[in-house]
Chain A
């Protein structure tokens, strides 16, 4: 699907990527339905609180240094501002960089819902510029501004003319998409359409889209071995730097869910190749990904040399630890990309994937092709296994864990790891996107698993002393029994 950069709005994931938040089946069925484009979303008649695209936008766009974000919303929608900014400040200080991004809100009240608040928004934009002189102001929308039909684009266009910086709308009304990851696209759309400029010349760097750049030093080193620089986005970037991503040799990413919009957008608009292989988690993932980068930027020999060196260093150690992990049964609960990528690593480490719960699922990416990691897993899994798309639904996860009784539960995103442990299942919170990146981190991931399943004190202590909030009735049902069609 072609990405349209002339509009302030863009298609949500359900429309662009055939994304769903409800599905039960198997890995082979999911792969085949993705290929045929036949996947249909299944609704729930019971749900627990999830996340929205607006929250995703605030958390992601605030990675950029020295901008202002104005959330056109009631106060609660901006409640996370301080914790987000604290984390971003910590990430910047780790690199010794200043970080001056601010998040403000318009604090919409009852009369605003009747008479509108475009006047407040106009004044807040001007006042924000006066106070902070940011490099740009991004205005994010909310459920309330959407439902009352605020003409945010017009206010921004008018106010923007009064200011010497870009003032950019990001449309992320929380009710609009059932897939909170649409927020990544909303942020990318704003950057691509309003910040990125045509290339002045070809640069000697690759764009690397990620979250918190925790493996930055190793990655910089890795690309130095290829003789190119790496530009990690958006964490700790400036708008000036971001404006030149169109000059990159290629765009690569830690996560397809995160990067589809920007990667494909840059490829379509500026011809920057976007690496679309499985991602660099585990050995196979890393080598497939790195080799494709080498091919695209013409550094095949350097890549092979790097791989050979690292293999010699780490593969024997990995073989060692694998012996101690063999046969462990694992359930995973993660986003649309990581769930299937980490599952591949689990199989590489000789463990068994018992079940995958993907928070949402994109049945294709912006290039029109189904996600390669699901196809890969379906082809390479020793046997077909069960998969669901669970929208972070805690009650479904605990039901699944109770049914499959795995040796280990792996989760990204807060809200289920604690509960697995409370149910007595050893669990690892894999929030760090680099937790099984490349050889070195795959090895430390393997040892983290070994440590986790060896010392079970915490889960034993806690789970034996608490009650779980679900009824026995619920544990007797199938995890998908509260899907609409199931009734």
Chain B
């Protein structure tokens, strides 16, 4: 049988409009149906300089479906250039325009030939999800905007950073900022293209970086590899988003070694940071240890980034035990075997089983049947609320769809992030007593 999409955890490739929207002053132009952007803009943090209602869209109707929509696309781009003040216009094609066979790339090229800042990415919804759409948009930017004929001078200590899926991951912004700060701590400068005051300025610096850093189990890797091919920029793939002392220390060391920095200096920095971090852990250890109701075992149902990061934190920092873990973003099969290994090298030889799933109903069935040796700790998305109620779990939603929590720029990354994560978990735990 075909796939049943029960509890949707990802959007379609056109959801990459959010990737574009996350780059300051870069505007998506949609060659798509009237409702696409409306449906894909769920989540918070949408009303920036551009917002979904600002995105030009051909709003394809019956007429274009029958007679073709290239003319409609042409006039939409032409007028977008006049009406909206953007640095770069990224034409994204949706299902309808691709099935009817519009040659959108050709239309876009005619603008590029006139020197207009317009590029194109094929993001038909049926071709893949928004995680893949993110890569396709990055690749379009690298291929069509960055000039690979030019000589770029390498800037010492500059690092291209790719981590969470912008706007889709509720913590994307905070994660990037936290990583930027960690890099700065060891003397590196993060070159991030998403978020506040970055935009084309930082896109232009991509070919000048010493290396690219991908902090994600798989997402962004192929785009970074493209930078390697085109501009000879090496890539450090660090699969685990570091949360807590144990993992953040490892991350800083790996980073320092790759960048050829003074490792002893980094070790000193780590020691300092850990001293402060454990000052807080010590102060609150009574809450963590002398608590009648806190879970002993946990499950994360999220995109792999969090499933891995939070599993490692809870095991390696907090001494909890993992039940089966779930990666829900339709991870491409070619990455799955490697990702399994990441769940096998934790303290004391502890391993976690990881399932790559897209069917939330099946996951919930397994959670209901599992024995958590007490109250489960369930970290997931809004979809897990019901199963958490049924299993009397401590429930913290952190992953899209996240409907009943507002995240602005907080993050669980690093030392501070881990403390924030503990605040959030125990704010749930403390609502009950047994």
B1 touches A48 (CB 8 A): no
Chain A residues with CB below 8 A from B256, complex form: none
With both chains docked as a complex, state the minimum distance between the C-beta of B265 and any C-beta of chain A, in angstroms.
40
Question: Which of A78-86, A192-200, A231-239, A340-348 lies at the interface?
Answer: A78-86
Chain B residues with CB below 8 A from A53, complex form: 35
Q: Per-position contact with B for A102-134: 1 when CB-CB < 8 Å, else 0?
A: 101111111011000101100110011001000
- Given A82-B403, A106-B2, A123-B4: A466 touches B84 (CB 8 Å cut-off): no
Q: Per-position contact with A for B20-36: 1 when CB-CB < 8 Å, else 0?
A: 00000001001011111
A67 interface hit (Cβ, 8 Å): no
CA distance A175 to B31 in the complex (A): 12
- Given A75-B8, A82-B8, A180-B35: A482 touches B61 (CB 8 Å cut-off): no
B59 touches A50 (CB 8 A): yes
B34 touches A474 (CB 8 A): no
Within 8 A of A (CB), among B1-27: 1-8, 10-15, 27
Chain A residues with CB below 8 A from B84, complex form: 395, 469-471, 474
CA distance A422 to B383 in the complex (A): 34
Chain A residues with CB below 8 A from B40, complex form: 76, 79
B75 touches A82 (CB 8 A): no
A174 touches B2 (CB 8 A): no
B334 interface hit (Cβ, 8 Å): no
A83 touches B42 (CB 8 A): yes
Indicate the size class of the contact surface on chain B. 35 or more
B58 touches A55 (CB 8 A): no
Chain A residues with CB below 8 A from B32, complex form: 49
- Given A47-B56, A47-B59: A467 touches B34 (CB 8 Å cut-off): no
A79 touches B8 (CB 8 A): yes
B4 touches A106 (CB 8 A): yes
CA distance A471 to B127 in the complex (A): 35
Q: Identify which of B6, B15, B58 contacts A79 (C-beta below 8 A).
A: B15
Chain B residues with CB below 8 A from A55, complex form: 35, 38-39
- A421's nearest neighbour on chain B, judged by CB, is B47
Q: Per-position contact with B for A464-483: 1 when CB-CB < 8 Å, else 0?
A: 00110111011000000010
Chain A residues with CB below 8 A from B3, complex form: 106-107, 109, 120
A112 touches B2 (CB 8 A): yes
Within 8 A of B (CB), among A336-362: none
CA distance A174 to B39 in the complex (A): 11
- B402's nearest neighbour on chain A, judged by CB, is A82
CA distance A18 to B387 in the complex (A): 47
Within 8 A of B (CB), among A37-67: 45-55
With both chains docked as a complex, state the minimum distance between the C-beta of A417 and any C-beta of chain B, in angstroms.
10
A19 interface hit (Cβ, 8 Å): no
Residue of B3, B35, B36, B95 with highest tally of chain A CB at under 10 A: B35
Chain A residues with CB below 8 A from B64, complex form: 175
A416 interface hit (Cβ, 8 Å): yes
CA distance A435 to B99 in the complex (A): 43
Q: Per-position contact with A for B85-119: 1 when CB-CB < 8 Å, else 0?
A: 11000000001100110000000000000000000
A113 touches B33 (CB 8 A): no
A45 touches B51 (CB 8 A): no
Residue of B13, B84, B99, B125 with highest tally of chain A CB at under 10 A: B125
Chain B residues with CB below 8 A from A106, complex form: 2-5
With both chains docked as a complex, state the minimum distance between the C-beta of B220 and any C-beta of chain A, in angstroms.
20
Q: Identify which of A45, A77, A81, A471 contacts B125 (C-beta below 8 A).
A: A77
With both chains docked as a complex, state the minimum distance between the C-beta of B126 and any C-beta of chain A, in angstroms.
5
Q: Identify which of A76, A110, A124 contacts B15 (C-beta below 8 A).
A: A76
- Given A52-B35, A82-B401, A469-B50: A119 touches B61 (CB 8 Å cut-off): no
Q: Identify which of A82, A87, A124, A175 contacts B62 (C-beta below 8 A).
A: A175
- Given A49-B30, A124-B4: A75 touches B83 (CB 8 Å cut-off): no
B249 interface hit (Cβ, 8 Å): no
A312 interface hit (Cβ, 8 Å): no
Chain A residues with CB below 8 A from B382, complex form: 82-83, 86
A418 interface hit (Cβ, 8 Å): yes
B125 touches A469 (CB 8 A): no
B381 touches A76 (CB 8 A): no
Q: Identify which of B7, B35, B80 contacts A174 (C-beta below 8 A).
A: B35
CA distance A77 to B42 in the complex (A): 11
- B12's nearest neighbour on chain A, judged by CB, is A76
A76 touches B54 (CB 8 A): no
With both chains docked as a complex, state the minimum distance between the C-beta of B317 and any C-beta of chain A, in angstroms.
30
Chain A residues with CB below 8 A from B30, complex form: 49
CA distance A113 to B401 in the complex (A): 27
CA distance A108 to B86 in the complex (A): 33
- A147's nearest neighbour on chain B, judged by CB, is B99
B126 touches A144 (CB 8 A): yes
A120 touches B34 (CB 8 A): no
With both chains docked as a complex, state the minimum distance between the C-beta of B168 and any C-beta of chain A, in angstroms.
10
- Given A48-B55, A77-B12, A394-B53: A178 touches B5 (CB 8 Å cut-off): no
Chain B residues with CB below 8 A from A388, complex form: none
Residue of A51, A75, A143, A469 with highest tally of chain B CB at under 10 A: A75
- A111's nearest neighbour on chain B, judged by CB, is B126
Chain A residues with CB below 8 A from B6, complex form: 102, 104, 128, 131
With both chains docked as a complex, state the minimum distance between the C-beta of A466 and any C-beta of chain B, in angstroms.
7
- A142's nearest neighbour on chain B, judged by CB, is B95
- Given A48-B56, A55-B39, A470-B84: A83 touches B403 (CB 8 Å cut-off): yes
- Given A112-B126, A469-B50, A469-B86: A124 touches B79 (CB 8 Å cut-off): no
CA distance A50 to B129 in the complex (A): 22
B264 interface hit (Cβ, 8 Å): no
B42 touches A104 (CB 8 A): no
Chain A residues with CB below 8 A from B95, complex form: 74, 113, 143-144, 147
Chain A residues with CB below 8 A from B5, complex form: 75, 78, 104-107
A148 interface hit (Cβ, 8 Å): yes
A174 touches B34 (CB 8 A): yes
- Given A75-B125, A79-B15, A102-B6: A50 touches B99 (CB 8 Å cut-off): no
A227 interface hit (Cβ, 8 Å): no
With both chains docked as a complex, state the minimum distance between the C-beta of B29 and any C-beta of chain A, in angstroms.
10
A11 interface hit (Cβ, 8 Å): no
A415 interface hit (Cβ, 8 Å): yes
A76 touches B61 (CB 8 A): no
A244 interface hit (Cβ, 8 Å): no
Chain A residues with CB below 8 A from B99, complex form: 113, 144, 147-148
A80 touches B65 (CB 8 A): no
CA distance A463 to B431 in the complex (A): 40
Chain A residues with CB below 8 A from B55, complex form: 48-49
CA distance A78 to B401 in the complex (A): 12
CA distance A414 to B47 in the complex (A): 11
B12 touches A75 (CB 8 A): yes
A49 touches B57 (CB 8 A): yes
Chain B residues with CB below 8 A from A78, complex form: 5, 8
B60 interface hit (Cβ, 8 Å): yes
- Given A76-B39, A117-B2, A120-B3: A415 touches B53 (CB 8 Å cut-off): yes
- A residues in contact (CB < 8 Å) with B: 45-55, 74-83, 86-87, 102, 104-110, 112-113, 117, 119-120, 123-124, 127-128, 131, 143-144, 147-148, 174-176, 178, 180, 392, 394-395, 414-416, 418-419, 466-467, 469-471, 473-474, 482
Can you pick out 22 interface pairs between chain A and chain B where the beta carbons lie within 8 Å of each other? A45-B75, A45-B76, A46-B76, A46-B80, A49-B32, A52-B38, A53-B35, A55-B39, A75-B125, A76-B12, A82-B7, A86-B401, A104-B4, A104-B6, A175-B60, A175-B64, A176-B61, A180-B34, A416-B53, A419-B53, A469-B50, A474-B82
- B residues in contact (CB < 8 Å) with A: 1-8, 10-15, 27, 30, 32-40, 42, 47, 49-62, 64-65, 75-76, 79-80, 82-86, 95-96, 99-100, 124-127, 129-130, 358, 361, 381-383, 401, 403-404
- Known pairs A52-B39, A124-B2, A469-B27 / 20 extra A-B pairs, C-beta < 8 Å: A46-B75, A46-B83, A47-B56, A50-B59, A74-B126, A75-B129, A76-B39, A79-B42, A82-B7, A83-B382, A109-B3, A120-B3, A124-B1, A128-B4, A144-B96, A147-B100, A175-B65, A416-B53, A418-B51, A471-B83
